[in-house]
Structure 1
Amino acid sequence: MHIITPKELEEILLHFSQSMTEIDSEEDLLWDLVGNCISKLNFEDAVVYLLDESGQYLEQKAALGPKSGGNREIIQAIRVPVGKGVTGKVVNTGLPLLIQDTRQFPDYIPDDQYRLSEVAVPILLEGKVIGVIDSENSQAGYFTEQHVRILNAVASIYSGQIARIRAEKHLQEKQEKLLELQKRNYQFQLEALSAQLSPHFVFNSLNSIQNQIFRDDKESSLRFLSIFAKLLRYFLSQLHLEKAALKEEVQMLNWYMQLQKLRYGDSLHFEIKAEESLSIDRVKIPSMVIQNLLENLLEEQIQSANGAISLLVTFEKTQNAVAMQAWINQSDKKGTVEKRKTGNQPTRTWEDFVRLMNEIKPFHIQYETGEKPCPQSQKPCKYVTLILPILDE
């Protein structure tokens, strides 16, 4: 039995430490570990196990010796239940296990062949066992306490490197996720602006104002042109903001609906109410949601309208949120409401918009939609409820 001298031990541990300086993947690290066990400790075999995601099994991740098929392949890789065999018991106890004669160890689990001695030490990370370094030998009594101490030191060295690699991987994934989130946020902002300044809305608004000018109605023309300009300024000012004052959102809705009213005249009726106790001048909610919802509702209902359309929008306080309800109906009276082509429909529905916003922010905006009698007429009405969180200043 060869006794390793202190000088040899220092050289062995130095080699283990230096061999991994350029390694940046966990797989490469584990194969480097088993390679060094074979070359520097003269083991017959070396296997590294890691716990699977469930924490219930050890999986062979790297092996040299009879278990190695070359090209970093493990011949008939096995999974060992935690608590079973030598390696499974090491996971349970968190302590090394030295078996001088496996014939005297009833829990021994043969792998590729039956061997007479085995040593296994835990790989610890933040006080928890994440894997095991294991080696077997055909001779009984081959492994010594010195081997245990060496493997413990090796496990500590490699566990530090595993921690480094995992931390770097986590940081990289976090950065990639952040970049993807930023990319989606930019996409969301562009889609929000596109939804608010949709070409057909801008064109139709300007066309309606132009009609007022042709009629020589200067007062109405100037008033609606001013409203249109205010609406554009508001949309642009909110583009990079996550929250908006409820008071300003309500004002925006009034401007928006006045432009729609200019276009459709008596065929469109609307009313916007805010509960007095809501303090809309101080409450802030997620921006760029409400107008997108109303745009969708109007597009959908006008598409199939046979008469006048009535819209009621209410805002109420519910705990730490604002409940917005929109009710829209169609009368049976045949009228002249302009039909819109399918091509004018928004490319993203308001539900998609809310889901995207929740994913990016997230605000946890809740919504419900269905059909109920309209509060003002008791006629069939489509309704949408949005639960918008009240945001801190």
Structure 2
Amino acid sequence: MTEIDSEEDLLWDLVGNCISKLNFEDAVVYLLDESGEFLEQKATLGPKSGKNREIIQAIRVPVGKGVTGKVVKTGLPLLIPDTRQFPDYIPDDQFRLSEVAVPILLEGKVIGVIDSENSQADFFTELHVRILNAVASIYSGQIARIRAEKRLKEKQEKLLELQKRNYQFQLEALSAQLSPHFVFNSLNSIQNQIFRDDKESSLRFLSIFAKLLRYFLSQLHLEKAALAEEIQMITWYLQLQKLRYGEILQFEIITDEAFSQERIRIPSMVIQNLIENLLEEQIQSANGAISVQISFGKNQEEVSMNVLINQAGPANSRQKRPTGKLPARTWEEFVQLMNEIKPFHIDFESGEKPCLQNESPCKYVNLILPILNE
């Protein structure tokens, strides 16, 4: 039995290689279904047994009904000398005069029943009850083994799937931060400054670009990031985007200077992904300039990031607005994937509300990030 690795094979082994030695007319092994409300026939011996382990006209018995249902309810064996004297008897394939049923117990709970009927009254004895109880106990131990092995296998498969998703997550994060679209456009914008012989701006933006790339690479395999560094990173990012889009883009970051003095750590890569998604999405659909306002706040357990994006007015008609490429995964999907892989419990809400400058609708996002331990 220790070599059997499925419950189905084990239960058919029970009737075929064990109960069959008792020369019973029939036998049926029941297991509780997932709801725990019905017994289902899983293996049979005798007239109900078809070819290739088929059960002829398999039935389900409600818990508490019939002989087997009452065994589940009480957890005790039941010996019926004459079924004509037992009003709750439920005939299966045919009416028989005697019946015996014993529970299959696992960790003190009934998980199934071994049941047998006979055409003769008074056929079954207390010896049959003791034998079937012993058989039920032996096979219950094997069911426990198979279920434990199944849980272990499922746990290992889930762990492998999480590892796979984690690798996918890291690749997506790297792709989002170092996408050719962002890198090439930033370099093109810096190149334009060089062509205009604006050495001071060229060097300043080249330095920002280098710092940003260095930061992205340093954070790639880290789950936590300093809040002050994340705020600095998003400042660099928006400065490069403003170099690219010019007056089309205006931004403001409101924060507490004390954040730079405190060792506050939050999940990494979330803030940049959010801002990139929102900015590219809004620029794609905007007919005018874009204004971005980002504010940060905190309490003892969480950091809140509030983003408000509005179309601030008509674009300069002479300013050519390059078209961007929307990320493959939305920021909502990115947060959900991150919550699934790493139990950070990042929360957010988004929608529309009136802009600060006027009553036109603005898009807002309120992101709640947990403060992580060092």
Amino acid aligned to 2:35: S
CA contact under 8 A between 1:308 and 1:331: conserved in structure 2? yes
Tell me which residue corresponds to 1:14. Answer: none
1:307 lines up with 2:288 in the alignment? yes
1:27 lines up with 2:8 in the alignment? yes
Q: CA RMSD in A?
A: 1.9
Q: TM-score, normalised by structure 1?
A: 0.90
CA contact under 8 A between 1:275 and 1:315: conserved in structure 2? yes
- Structure 1 residues 226 and 91, CA, compared in 2 at 3 Å: closer, same or farther? same
Tell me which residue corresponds to 1:79. Answer: 60
Amino acid aligned to 2:269: M
Q: CA deviation at 1:278?
A: 5.6
Give per-residue Cα distances to partners, 1:201-245, cap 9 Å, x unaligned.
100111111122223333322222221111112112222222211
User: SS at the partner of 2:343?
Assistant: coil
Give per-residue Cα distances to partners, 1:326-361, cap 9 Å, x unaligned.
11122333315543446x221111112112212222
1:353 lines up with 2:323 in the alignment? no
Instruction: State which of 41, 57, 61 in structure 1 corresponds to 2:42.
Output: 61
Q: CA deviation at 1:261?
A: 1.8
Q: CA deviation at 1:277?
A: 6.3
User: SS at the partner of 1:141?
Assistant: coil
Instruction: Tell me how far apart the structure 2 counterparts of residues 153 and 188 of structure 1 sit (CA, whole Å).
Output: 52
Tell me which residue corresponds to 1:17. Answer: none
Show structure 2 runs of 5+ residues with no match.
Answer: none
Instruction: Tell me how far apart the structure 1 counterparts of residues 334 and 179 of structure 2 sit (CA, whole Å).
Output: 15
User: SS at the partner of 1:111?
Assistant: coil
Tell me which residue corresponds to 1:178. Answer: 159
1:132 lines up with 2:110 in the alignment? no
Give per-residue Cα distances to partners, 1:135-170, cap 9 Å, x unaligned.
111111111111111111111110110011001111
CA contact under 8 A between 1:84 and 1:107: conserved in structure 2? yes
Identity within the alignment, %: 82
Tell me which residue corresponds to 1:113. Answer: 94
CA contact under 8 A between 1:306 and 1:333: conserved in structure 2? yes
Instruction: Tell me how far apart the structure 1 counterparts of residues 289 and 313 of structure 2 sit (CA, whole Å).
Output: 8
Q: CA deviation at 1:276?
A: 5.3
- Structure 1 residues 281 and 379, CA, compared in 2 at 3 Å: closer, same or farther? farther
- Structure 1 residues 390 and 173, CA, compared in 2 at 3 Å: closer, same or farther? same
4+ runs deviating over 4 angstroms: 276-280, 376-379
CA contact under 8 A between 1:245 and 1:284: conserved in structure 2? yes
Tell me which residue corresponds to 2:179. Answer: 198
Amino acid aligned to 2:247: D
Instruction: Tell me how far apart the structure 1 counterparts of residues 192 and 73 of structure 2 sit (CA, whole Å).
Output: 82
Instruction: State which of 339, 352, 362 in structure 1 corresponds to 2:321.
Output: 339
Mapping for residues 236-247 of structure 1, pairs under 5 Å:
236-247=217-228
- Structure 1 residues 46 and 52, CA, compared in 2 at 3 Å: closer, same or farther? same
Q: TM-score, normalised by structure 2?
A: 0.94
Amino acid aligned to 1:317: K
Instruction: State which of 124, 137, 146 in structure 2 corresponds to 1:156.
Output: 137
Instruction: Tell me how far apart the structure 1 counterparts of residues 261 and 143 of structure 2 sit (CA, whole Å).
Output: 54
Tell me which residue corresponds to 2:148. Answer: 167
Instruction: State which of 308, 326, 348 in structure 1 corresponds to 2:307.
Output: 326
Instruction: Tell me how far apart the structure 2 counterparts of residues 246 and 367 of structure 1 sit (CA, whole Å).
Output: 17
Instruction: Tell me how far apart the structure 2 counterparts of residues 93 and 246 of structure 1 sit (CA, whole Å).
Output: 60
Tell me which residue corresponds to 1:374. Answer: 355
Instruction: Tell me how far apart the structure 2 counterparts of residues 305 and 101 of structure 1 sit (CA, whole Å).
Output: 84
Tell me which residue corresponds to 1:13. Answer: none
1:291 lines up with 2:272 in the alignment? yes
Instruction: Tell me how far apart the structure 1 counterparts of residues 41 and 167 of structure 2 sit (CA, whole Å).
Output: 44
CA contact under 8 A between 2:186 and 2:244: conserved in structure 1? yes
